[in-house]
Structures are given as structure tokens and as C-alpha cells.
């Protein structure tokens, strides 16, 4: 399997405070990575620094072999539009547009496919995530779980190399969260590389590997292997992860 993301000697400082120190890791195409750590350990900063949302202070971030760390604003926004997808804790959909219009917008903006093809792709994504029946709805009239599903569709409309998430289930109740998590797992099983920040053991236990941050350093990594939905194995994974985290005082 090919390396899809390579992070080398990444550092990030805000004025005189160093938030990330010499971060090094690689992600292979098709992996699902969870990033965990105490609040303030640098998880969001790391995610933004490796996804083209923000620039590291130093170091390299290679996505499909191309270093995105030092790109200018125009090239960086092209990376965000074309190469990566992003889901946050809140969906940040545009309030005056329907669900469908929110999803197709980045596709039209990129302009690589015809409007018809973008619409077709949006339909397929909405069917896959179970929101096709509310495609025309005003976003003020849909639930939090549906909004998050729509945000996932929007993030995937340009078929990104990597889907990033910063606590994508953090604002959802546990059953809604599970549905969104199943979708993220499906997307990963279809081949999209997934990297998400989470504090939730149930979410991280679905990942192939867990990276634990402490004070801006990679403190430890845990390999769980590919998730297959088997209930017995799921509880074993959760228990393994829980015990691993407990030793770190998490």
C-alpha cells in the first residue's frame, strides 16, 4: 500500500508558544486513523496543519507525495477543494441553501465535472448516507445527525484523497453518533483514507490505528487493525483501547 500522508519534523507555534514539537508519522492509503489526547494537547492544531487548513511553522506535509506545507494561499485553497475533505463538530452548512445545494457547491466550484455529473454524484452520496429524501429541504428543518451526514457528503463531493474530521460526532447523541460513525466506516471501507480527532473511545475503537498526543508530541500509538463491524470484536477493541488510554491517565 502507498503512503498517502507523510508528516516530517512538523512544528507549530503561535507567537512564542510552541504547540506541536517535531511530529513525524505516515499514513497509508485506505487507513483510518484516530487522534486522541487531553484537551489542549494539540489535536486540532495537528489536524489543521496536516490538512491544508493552516500552515505548520516548519516541517513537511506530503499528501500523495506533494508537500503542502509551504504553498501560497491560492494553491492551499485548491488543496482544500480538491485533495481533502473536512468535517467539523458542527456542520457549517450554508443556511440559505438546501441540503443538495450545500453538497454540490464545492463540486461546481471545482468545475472538473459537468453540473449533471456533480448532481449525480451528490445523489449517490445522499443515498449512501440516507439523506436523499431530504435533499430539497431547508437546512433549518433537519436534525443534527442529518446535517452531519450532509456535511460528510459535501466533504466527499470532490472525491478527496483524505477525509479529515475534528470531533465529527462530538455534538451528537450516542445513537445518532453511531449512525454517522457507521457511514465514516463505510466510506473508509470503500477506500477513502480517514483521519479524525476524537475523545470518544467508541469512535476511536473503529480506527485501524490510534495516535495519542501529549503536550504537542506523539506520546504513543496503538494498532487495532481494520474494523469489520463484528460486535464481539468491537467490544474487545473498545476494551483494549480503554485500558491503553487508562494507563495514560486519560
Ligand X SMILES: Nc1ncnc2c1ncn2[C@@H]1O[C@H](COP(=O)(O)OP(=O)(O)O)[C@@H](O)[C@H]1O
Of residues 52 and 107, the one with the C-beta less far from Mg ion = 52
Residue 14's binding partner, choosing from Mg ion, ligand X, none, with beta-carbon cut-off 5 to 8 A by kind? ligand X
CB-based burial, 145-163: b 16+ in 10 Å, e otherwise: bbbbbbbbbbbbbbebbbb
| Shortest distance, position 42 Cβ to Mg ion, whole Å | 8
Q: State the residues that interact with ligand X by CB under 6 A.
A: 14, 19, 37, 39-45
Q: What span, in angstroms and rounded, lies between the C-alpha atoms of 142 and 134? A: 8
Of residues 13 and 137, the one with the C-beta less far from ligand X = 13
Q: What span, in angstroms and rounded, lies between the C-alpha atoms of 221 and 190? A: 24
Residue 19's binding partner, choosing from ligand X, Mg ion, none, with beta-carbon cut-off 5 to 8 A by kind? ligand X
| Shortest distance, position 103 Cβ to ligand X, whole Å | 27
Residue 41's binding partner, choosing from Mg ion, ligand X, none, with beta-carbon cut-off 5 to 8 A by kind? ligand X
Of residues 41 and 91, the one with the C-beta less far from ligand X = 41
| Shortest distance, position 208 Cβ to ligand X, whole Å | 21
Q: What span, in angstroms and rounded, lies between the C-alpha atoms of 146 and 150? A: 6
Report how far apart, in Å, the C-alpha atoms of 5 and of each of 2, 60, 90, 210 are: 9, 10, 25, 15
| Shortest distance, position 41 Cβ to ligand X, whole Å | 4
Of residues 3 and 21, the one with the C-beta less far from ligand X = 21
C-alpha cell belonging to residue 53:
487548513
Q: State the residues that interact with Mg ion by CB under 5 A.
A: 43-44
Q: What span, in angstroms and rounded, lies between the C-alpha atoms of 168 and 30? A: 19
Amino acid at each position: 500500500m502507498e503512503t498517502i500522508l507523510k508528516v516530517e519534523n512538523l512544528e507549530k507555534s503561535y507567537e512564542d508558544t510552541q504547540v506541536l514539537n517535531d511530529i513525524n508519522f505516515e499514513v497509508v492509503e485506505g487507513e483510518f486513523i484516530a487522534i486522541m489526547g487531553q484537551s489542549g494537547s494539540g489535536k486540532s492544531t495537528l489536524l489543521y496543519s496536516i490538512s491544508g487548513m493552516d500552515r505548520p511553522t516548519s516541517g513537511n506535509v506530503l499528501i500523495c507525495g506533494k508537500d503542502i506545507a509551504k504553498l501560497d494561499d491560492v494553491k492551499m485553497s485548491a488543496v482544500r477543494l480538491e485533495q481533502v475533505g473536512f468535517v467539523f463538530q458542527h456542520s457549517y452548512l450554508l443556511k440559505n441553501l438546501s441540503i443538495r445545494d450545500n453538497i454540490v457547491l464545492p463540486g461546481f466550484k471545482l468545475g472538473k465535472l459537468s453540473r449533471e455529473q456533480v448532481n449525480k454524484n451528490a445523489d449517490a452520496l445522499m443515498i449512501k448516507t440516507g439523506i436523499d429524501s431530504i435533499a430539497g429541504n431547508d437546512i433549518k428543518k433537519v436534525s443534527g445527525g442529518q446535517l452531519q451526514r450532509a456535511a460528510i457528503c459535501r466533504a466527499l463531493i470532490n472525491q478527496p484523497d483524505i477525509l479529515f474530521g475534528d470531533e465529527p460526532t462530538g455534538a451528537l447523541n450516542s445513537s445518532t453518533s453511531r449512525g454517522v460513525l457507521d457511514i465514516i466506516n463505510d466510506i473508509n471501507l470503500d477506500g477513502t483514507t480517514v483521519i479524525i480527532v476524537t475523545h470518544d473511545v467508541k469512535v476511536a475503537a473503529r480506527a485501524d490505528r490510534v495516535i495519542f498526543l501529549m503536550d504537542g508530541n506523539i506520546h504513543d500509538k496503538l494498532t487495532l487493525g481494520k474494523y469489520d463491524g463484528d460486535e464481539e470484536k468491537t467490544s474487545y477493541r473498545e476494551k483494549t483501547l480503554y485500558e491503553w488510554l487508562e494507563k495514560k491517565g486519560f
